[in-house]
Structure 1
Amino acid sequence: MVKKFLIMMVVSLFVLTACNGETEDEEVETVTSVETEEVTVDDFSVTKNFTARSMPNDQAPVMAEAAGEVEEVFVSRGDEVEEGDVIVEYTSQYGLMEIESPIDGLVQELDAKEGRMVTTEEPQAVIIGADPLVFHFQLTATNRELISVADEVDFEISQANEEGEAEITYIASTAGENGLFDIEAEVEQPDDAIPSGLTAQIKIDDVIETDTFIVPTEAIVERGADQFIYLVEDEQATRIDVDVISMQSAYTAIESKEEDMLQEGDAVITRGQLTIDDGQTVRIVEED
């Protein structure tokens, strides 16, 4: 019995020694997979949104030259007409007369009906010019300084599922009674896709910092009072402490706390940065 116990002890010691040897020999360095984007240098802007109203660029009443009775109406509300198109034909003391459209546009209002009397005081129709379409909005004095006539601004109209660029055509030189400046922008729309009277969002960029380093906001790591990013250099994560100049949801303007530690084109880690440390080995993978 004693002999058997001694044999088991020897075997146990041998196995334990072998296991310890394997543990020491199998120390494997951890490699973390990360995703990166390039650091860019550009002007950093904040996009400001302003509410505007879409309006016709012109509005013209269609008037009769003499009183009479309507014989025939050639258009309907919503029809597109050109300058000179006959809108109404009527009989007056001067014989058969015509009322023509004074501008290119759309028939917004139509009061003329066959057999109805016409006068020289009330319009028989109203034509609006829909191309170009005008956006009207107002800005404070500070925001007015962000734009100039002929600038292009982005617009979005969710009601019509339309977006694009409009050109600033008018900036009031004096403020109204509410202290705001009237602004107008125009967009060409030969197909009249955007109706008048809709609410639009006008987007104007306000440059916060010029020629600054820009990184994805998700690359910023915050630990206590420290803010930093990780760059990939020679397959290792390198911590760079930074000051945040301005942060937006997608991108952030930063500057390095140490001179020449950050360069345009550097690979900044945007995925996996929360689980690594300075000097850790990393492997760059492409975004799914």
Structure 2
Amino acid sequence: MKANRYLAILVLLGSAAWIATGEFASVGSAADSTSEAPAAETASAPSGDEAKSLQTVGVAVIPQIMHARSIKISGVTQADKQTTVTARAGGIIGELLVEQGDRVNEGDVIAKIAPEGRDAALRSAQQALEQAQAQADATNALVKKGTLPKLQGDSVMSALRAAESQVEAAQAEIDKLDVIAPYDGVIDELSIEKGASVGANAPVALLIALDPIIGVGEVNESDLGVAKVGEDADLRLVSGETVTGTIRYISRSAQAATRTYTVEVEVPNPDLAIPAGMTTEVILRGEPVLSTPVPRSVVALNDNGELGVRTVNDNDEVEFHPIDIVDDSTGALILGGIPKGARVIVAGQNFVGDGVKVHPVEADSETIRKLVEEAAAGAI
């Protein structure tokens, strides 16, 4: 952005330098008599009544840049994921394995509910399974020998499968006693303490995932075309730090009340330095286009009410160029639609009409160079 500021300063200081030389004294009025002009100017300037009618304007050839339009919107940081982890079974909290603020990984146990007889039920089911297995083995051996009918063998196999189901059910009840983290994250809140009684589906902890952190804002419908999923975007935090991320989502349905669209920017946050809920400025950038930075005072209106800038062509005639405002978020206006190498009227543009012949005076390049160097040194 410094480059844009320097170019805007160049134009402003160029205008000031030109005025300081005295050449701009007649901007918007008839030119001075040819006797006061330098010899070179006198030789090329019109004579007689035509010379007296020409108006003097200040012009400058403004360097063009590739600039990406930026849209700044108010936003807030949000966790990538947020889940209230609940107990899957009722009982007494026998173990609490985390504290508020702890980082956990997917599959980590947050808390354990006391078994209260569930482990005994599992052992009983396992013993019944062992007995059913032994009975099935013995019966099947006799069936193969033809001592027992096949129907009796089918019966013991059904009993075996029922015993297996009982073990699985008892094991599932045991598994429900562990409160498990569903993904990597941070324990932001704990809703229970060791020894507390909880019911099934009771909240145990609030788990949030902060890597990546998500910047969320609302973009106006007129600026919706600037943002595209997958493009880079910035978040400017309240600390003044700016971090870069990627646009991951743009809603396709406007908020009914504001007619704005939700935009989400995903920013890497491996050290979890950026918390959720922080006020931020979301900065979206469009595709870079060839643009010209100019001071706001250069912009003028033509007879049709169009916004644009006036330039002087090779015949010293005024031309009007409608402009596209690429960016107005900087100190200067960043404009599209100005021809490359055009002599932009930076002083006196409101006193001349389109197609009128004028007396253009260019700012001294050496003076501008020195002023720009001084301005740049002071801005760094």
1:97-246 mapped onto 2 (5 Å cutoff): 97-158=177-238, 160-178=239-257, 179-205=259-285, 210-214=289-293, 217=295
Q: Helix, strand or coil: the match of 2:203?
A: coil
> What's the CA shift string for 1:118-167, capped at 9, x where partnerless?
21121111111111111222222221111111011111011x44321121
Asked if the contact 2:88/2:201 (under 8 Å) is kept, the reply is: no
Shift in alpha-carbon separation, 1:79–1:161, aligned structure 2, 3 A: farther
1:80-95 mapped onto 2 (5 Å cutoff): 80-93=103-116, 94-95=118-119
Deviation at 1:204, TM superposition (A): 2.4
Shift in alpha-carbon separation, 1:255–1:176, aligned structure 2, 3 A: closer
Deviation at 1:190, TM superposition (A): 0.7
Between the aligned partners of 1:162 and 1:256, the Cα distance in structure 2 is 34
Between the aligned partners of 1:82 and 1:76, the Cα distance in structure 2 is 14
Between the aligned partners of 1:137 and 1:203, the Cα distance in structure 2 is 10
Asked if the contact 1:85/1:101 (under 8 Å) is kept, the reply is: yes
Q: Helix, strand or coil: the match of 1:203?
A: strand
Between the aligned partners of 2:179 and 2:202, the Cα distance in structure 1 is 13
2:246 counterpart letter in structure 1: E
Shift in alpha-carbon separation, 1:146–1:281, aligned structure 2, 3 A: closer
2:245 counterpart letter in structure 1: A
Between the aligned partners of 1:85 and 1:60, the Cα distance in structure 2 is 15
Deviation at 1:211, TM superposition (A): 2.1
Deviation at 1:48, TM superposition (A): 2.7
Between the aligned partners of 1:259 and 1:102, the Cα distance in structure 2 is 58
Q: Helix, strand or coil: the match of 1:107?
A: strand
Q: CA-atom RMSD, angstroms?
A: 4.0
Between the aligned partners of 2:338 and 2:268, the Cα distance in structure 1 is 48
In structure 1, the gaps of 5 or more residues are 1-37, 229-240, 264-276
2:71 to 23, 48, 53: 48
Shift in alpha-carbon separation, 1:85–1:251, aligned structure 2, 3 A: same
Shift in alpha-carbon separation, 1:261–1:39, aligned structure 2, 3 A: closer
> What's the CA shift string for 1:150-200, capped at 9, x where partnerless?
011111011x44321121111112223222222211111111111101111
Between the aligned partners of 1:182 and 1:221, the Cα distance in structure 2 is 36
Judge which range, 110-119 or 197-206, deviates more: 197-206
When you count strand as a share of all residues, which structure comes out higher?
1
Between the aligned partners of 2:231 and 2:212, the Cα distance in structure 1 is 16
Name the counterpart of 2:84: 61
Between the aligned partners of 1:259 and 1:154, the Cα distance in structure 2 is 30
Judge which range, 42-51 or 64-73, deviates more: 42-51
Between the aligned partners of 2:87 and 2:191, the Cα distance in structure 1 is 12
Between the aligned partners of 1:104 and 1:63, the Cα distance in structure 2 is 16
Q: Helix, strand or coil: the match of 1:145?
A: helix
Percent identity reads: 22
Higher Rg: 2
Deviation at 1:51, TM superposition (A): 0.9
Deviation at 1:49, TM superposition (A): 1.5
Deviation at 1:70, TM superposition (A): 1.2
> What's the CA shift string for 1:64-86, capped at 9, x where partnerless?
22211112212111111111111
Asked if the contact 1:68/1:117 (under 8 Å) is kept, the reply is: yes
Asked if the contact 1:256/1:262 (under 8 Å) is kept, the reply is: no
In structure 2, the gaps of 5 or more residues are 1-60, 120-173, 300-308, 311-317, 345-360
Deviation at 1:39, TM superposition (A): 5.1
1:238-277 mapped onto 2 (5 Å cutoff): 249-253=330-334, 260=341
The number of equivalent residue pairs is 224
Q: Please, what TM-score do these two structures have when normalized by structure 2?
A: 0.49
Deviation at 1:60, TM superposition (A): 2.0
Name the counterpart of 2:133: none
Deviation at 1:260, TM superposition (A): 4.8
1:57 counterpart letter in structure 2: D
> What's the CA shift string for 1:196-229, capped at 9, x where partnerless?
011110112467x9423446x49x899xxxx99x
Deviation at 1:61, TM superposition (A): 2.3
Asked if the contact 2:235/2:282 (under 8 Å) is kept, the reply is: yes
